Amino acid sequence: MRTKIREIVKGIIKELFDEEVEFDIQHPPDEKMGDYSVNAPFLLANKLKKSPNDIAKTILDEIDSEIIESASQIKGFINFRIKKESWLEELTKSITPDYGNGNLGEGKKVLIEFVSANPTGPLTVAHARSAAYGDSLARVLESQSYNVDREYYINDSGNQIKNLGDSVRLKIEELKGKEIQYPPNTYQGEYIEQIAREVMDKNIEDYGEFAGDRILKTINETLKRLRIDFDEWVRESKIIKEGKVEAIITDLQKLKPNPLTEREGALWFTPGNRERVFRRSDGSWTYIVPDIAYHRFKFERGYDLLIDLLGPDHQDHVPELKKSLSLLGYPEEKLEVKIIQWVTLKRGEETVKMSKRQGSYITIDELVDEVGVDAARFFYLLRKSSVPMDFDLELAKEESERNPVYYVQYGHARISSLLELAEEKGYSIDSKENLLKLNKKEEWNLIKKIPEFTETLEDSARIRESHLLTHYLLDISKLYHNFYQNIRILDGNKDLIPQRLFLSNAVRNVIRKGLKLLGVSAPERM
RNA sequence: GCCCCUGUAGCUCAGUGGAUAGAGCACCGGUUUCCUAAACCGGAAGUCGUAAGUUCGAGUCUUACCAGGGGUACCA
């Protein structure tokens, strides 16, 4: 619907003024003003040296479209009222499974890297947000014709893996009866003991590597449980082994001016005001260098757009990452980094301290055991990524009955049950006949809300945030509950039964599709 | 020191530079002989942290400041 209006107004502006302008299409504050509003006159006022009012009037005179009932201008806004027939035509399209899909992405290849937790312990709820967010974003982008790959980067060669190996070794000694004093950098969770028991009698050379692989396996299982499947798993060790890290240094040193400086035995990256060590005085790389090599490897695979979802602990190195990549000739705007803010875990008033090393943390598996996959995913996708959020486990349990996810799922189940009953009674639920007979406010609220689904998906994809979709689903569910409560469908006016069933069917389709894009199930009954 | 995020109703939060700032929860009051009450309807609730700037127009952008949270220094 929005697209159609854009075309109409664009055409008129082109014809009248020979101008092109990126105007906005919104919904007026009061529905009495119309269904859609366009702000183009303001944007043209400067160029044309005319008042927005006059421009609006001129444009109004040229409007002649089959879908528009009427148009008016108020204070420079052009407001449109759409013909009932056009709304209903849109409604008839909305029962197909691919309704809402768009072409914003034009088939562009996108790589989303997310979670990428070090394989030194089970995933925590802190990762769950990024997991839910990344997967849902991928689904939304896919619906808009982006070609998306999900990738997990495995940091399997740093100090942390050494520490992991040491932790296992110490645990084995402890299990054999030795008194052990654990150094501060070791991991002490229950999983360490499990792995130690498993390997203690085997002949294994590298405990760190073995433990890392074992943990990675459980991470993957947890992700699968969250309905998340990665297309690629890329190992840092492989990037290093293939010489990609040295290549970065070599290529940066070829640049003029050379952004690398040797000082005090270390190699510094000094392209501007900020400085950062790339190679320590002991000859080892700081973690950022393999990271740069990894990102170049992403570009080399031909992606049009890279999206990184990082935790706030990684934000400090983003400027250097982007800077070095752009120095190497990769356009900065093709790398979008989104910082997913932390989740603070709470039990009632008490903050749960999260420490992998000490083994005090809540895992995703535990979270899912408590609240379920649906509630967990929906909950995370209720907020935009830049807002730090509290996750109160007590509250999540206590409120699980009132959790918004149930509100939407209940709407879906309600419609499903209604349609099932209707079909038993011999009614058609997909007859497009006589929809014009619908004339109640509750019905038209829904009819006009449905095309917003398309708009919401497009907006979500554009700003890379799926909470818009979550909120949309809550809105349309509310409108449906309102409709359902106030209008008797099967016991009401016999003439309107097929039309109301058709409308219900359309709403169900949109809710089902929306939930699917969030990775939440749409139950037939509850 | 440097960097990031947040500040909107009692609470939790929406709000691609547009018109009179919105929901949910909580609170108060109603609705079930009837297709799922995990529901619906009504009510009350605001100096959008402060100040300046940018412009036709600022909750939204810029700068400074205030408050809260977090990150970081040859760990990752």
Q: Which pLDDT belongs to residue A358?
A: 56
The pLDDT of residue A76: 87
C1' (B6) to CA (A343) span, angstroms:
13
Residue A481 contacts strand B, CB under 7 A: yes
Amino acid at A278: F
| pLDDT per 10-residue tile (average), chain A, 526 residues | 90 89 89 90 87 89 89 90 94 94 94 91 86 95 96 87 89 88 81 89 85 93 95 92 92 88 88 84 87 94 93 84 90 88 74 60 84 89 87 70 85 95 91 88 93 93 93 95 93 91 96 96 92
Q: In this structure, is the CB of residue A486 within 7 Å of any atom belonging to strand B?
A: yes
Does strand B come within 7 Å of the CB of A72?
no
Distance of alpha carbon A403 from alpha carbon A219, whole angstroms: 27
The answer to whether the beta carbon of residue A312 comes closer than 7 angstroms to any atom of strand B is yes
**Alpha helix (H) ranges present in A226-305?**
236-241, 244-253, 288-300
Cβ of residue A129 lies below 7 Å from strand B: no
What's the pLDDT score for residue A454? Answer: 94
**Integer distance in angstroms from CA A480 to C1' B42?**
19
A402 touches strand B (CB under 7 A): yes
Q: Which residue is nearest to nucleotide B15 (CA to C1')?
A: A468
Nearest to A183 by CA among A207, A203, A164, A156: A164
H helix or E strand, kind and range, residue A26: strand A25-26
Identify the three-state secondary structure at position A82: strand
How much is the pLDDT for A513? 96
Proximity of residue A155 CB to strand B below 7 A: yes
Strand B close residues, chain A 413-432, CB < 7 angstroms: 413-414, 416-418, 421
Closest CA relative to residue A453, chosen from A29, A143, A147: A143
Which residue is nearest to the C1' sugar atom of B24, using CA? A404
Task: Report the pLDDT value the prediction gives residue A349, as an integer from 0 to 100.
Answer: 61
What is the dihedral angle through the alpha carbons of A65, A507, A144, A321, rounded to the nearest 10 degrees? Answer: 130
Helix, strand, or coil here: A273?
coil
- Residue A423 has a pLDDT of 93
Res A398: pLDDT = 65
CB A489 within 7 Å, strand B: yes
Residue A350, pLDDT score = 66
Please check whether strand B approaches the CB of A120 to within 7 Å: no
Spacing of C-alpha A53 from chain mean position: 40
Predicted local confidence at residue A255, as pLDDT: 87
